[in-house]
Amino acid sequence: MVSISDVASAAQIGLPGLATPALPGSMASTAVSAARGLAAGLSTFRPLGLAMRFSVNVAGARFDGIDLGAWTSCEGLNVKFEYETIRSGGEYGSAYILPKYVSFEPVTLMRAVERPYSDAVQTWLRLVSAQWQTAMGLPSLGDTVTISMFDAYQNPDLPAATWQLQNAFPVAWRGPSMSAKGREIGSETLVFEHDGFLEPSL
């Protein structure tokens, strides 16, 4: 008789992304639970986004799309609603909120250098550099950067969450510090500005 553990193990073999040793303890348990759910034909597993399962894609008017691949970390994905509090004379129990503007921080991506995705980053940087050098202004410069987070099933057609950052353009890239005496894996950092991810859905 085949046990649930055997089926789950077979499911992990069929889904190598779930059997990676990079998964921390709690995430590994989540991945194994998902594999067991798949093996048992269950559809009740909650599609929770995993923080270490996300990819980045950039698209613009000058190209169809560039797959920047998976990254180790993503920082700065947030929004802040700026406002001013105004109090009227004689009204001591309430105040008026005056909306000012919505602001977004630069997004910083980090990962190990990996072909072909590191080459794709250089392709995007070259395209932006060429446009800057031809004196074309910022209004036509921005591209759309899509960050997709996946659950334990890692279905590329059904991400757990997606953020589309409008009018994005790179402002900094940093490559690895290389030394013949070192043993570290070379890493790269990409920083880009954007106008946010709260555009109304069409």
pLDDT tens, position by position, 21-55: 343 444 445 555 555 555 544 456 677 888 888 99
Which pLDDT score, from 0 to 100, does residue 171 have? 95
Q: How many domains does the chain have?
A: 2
Which pLDDT score, from 0 to 100, does residue 10 have? 37
Q: What distance in Å separates the CA atoms of residue 150 and residue 34, rounded to the nearest whole number? A: 13
28 is in which domain, residue-wise? 1-45
Most confident of 53-62, 135-144, 187-196: 187-196
Mean pLDDT, the chain, rounded, equals: 79
Q: Are residues 13 and 80 in the same domain?
A: no
| Helix (H), strand (E) at residue 79 | strand 79-86
Q: Does residue 181 fall inside a structural domain?
A: yes
Asked if the bond preceding 116 is cis, omega within 30° of 0, the reply is yes
Percent share of the chain, pLDDT over 70: 73
Q: Are residues 17 and 68 in the same domain?
A: no
Q: Are residues 115 and 73 in the same domain?
A: yes
Q: Does residue 200 fall inside a structural domain?
A: no
Decide if pLDDT at 180 tops 70: yes
Q: What distance in Å separates the CA atoms of residue 82 and residue 101, rounded to the nearest whole number? A: 5
Which pLDDT score, from 0 to 100, does residue 126 have? 93
Q: Does residue 125 fall inside a structural domain?
A: yes
Q: Are residues 88 and 157 in the same domain?
A: yes
77: Cβ contacts below 8 Å, ≥ 6 apart: 107, 147, 163
Q: What distance in Å separates the CA atoms of residue 68 and residue 144, rounded to the nearest whole number? A: 12
Mean pLDDT of all residues in 179-185: 87
Percent share of the chain, pLDDT over 90: 49
pLDDT digits (tens, 9 = 90+) for 121-131: 999 999 988 88
Q: Are residues 73 and 153 in the same domain?
A: yes
Q: Are residues 146 and 176 in the same domain?
A: yes
118: Cβ contacts below 8 Å, ≥ 6 apart: 188
CATH of the domain at 133: 2.30.110
Which position has the higher pLDDT, 116 or 41? 116
Which position has the higher pLDDT, 95 or 4? 95
Answer whether 193's CB lies under 8 Å from 168's CB: yes
